[in-house]
């Protein structure tokens, strides 16, 4: 009914074949994986290059950000002036109730040192 000799031969032949196959596959897989990945020195060089690029770009970025803020302030002042002039043209006099506050806390019409402007419609813009 059950012939263990035949099965043992069959499995031993298969076992030897599988052992040779795994050994060969392992040899080839080791050969392929040796060249993959980066060494520590390569990674450190890449990190150093990125650090240099970031240190160069930060001052450029901050100066561009400052220029954009200055341009925004000038645009707000031009819009403020245009609104005051339009009010003058329609009423024939300057509106003395336009509130603003300078850095010293006093009120008056001095654009230098201005922290905030308030348009005639009540919209406040920080400088």
Q: Do 71 and 82 touch, CB atoms closer than 8 A? A: no
Q: How far apart are CA 16 and CA 13, in angstroms?
A: 5
| pLDDT at residue number 85 | 83
Q: How far apart are CA 8 and CA 10, in angstroms?
A: 5
User: Phi/psi of residue 126, each to 5°?
Assistant: -80, 140
- pLDDT tens-place values along the chain, 127 residues long: 555 555 455 555 556 666 666 666 666 555 555 667 899 999 999 999 999 999 999 999 999 999 999 999 889 888 888 888 888 888 887 777 665 555 565 555 555 566 777 777 777 777 6
Q: 3-class SS at 4? A: helix
H helix runs in 1-127, sequence order: 4-34, 40-91
| pLDDT at residue number 25 | 62
Does the pTM surpass 0.85? The reply is no
| pLDDT at residue number 68 | 94
| pLDDT at residue number 71 | 93
Q: 3-class SS at 118? A: strand
- % of the chain surpassing 70 pLDDT: 57
Q: How far apart are CA 107 and CA 89, in angstroms?
A: 24
């Amino acid at each position: 009914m059950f012939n263990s000799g035949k099965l043992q031969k069959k499995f031993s032949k298969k076992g030897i074949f599988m052992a040779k196959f795994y050994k060969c596959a392992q040899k080839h897989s080791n050969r392929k994986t040796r060249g993959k990945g980066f060494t520590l020195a390569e990674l450190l060089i890449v990190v150093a290059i990125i650090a240099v690029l970031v240190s160069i770009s930060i001052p450029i970025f901050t100066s561009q950000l400052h220029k954009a803020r200055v341009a925004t302030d000038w645009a707000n002042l031009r819009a403020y002036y245009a609104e005051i002039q339009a009010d003058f043209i329609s009423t024939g006099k300057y509106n003395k109730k336009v509130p603003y506050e300078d850095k010293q806390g006093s009120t008056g019409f001095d654009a230098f040192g201005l922290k905030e402007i308030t348009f005639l419609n009540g919209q406040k813009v920080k400088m």
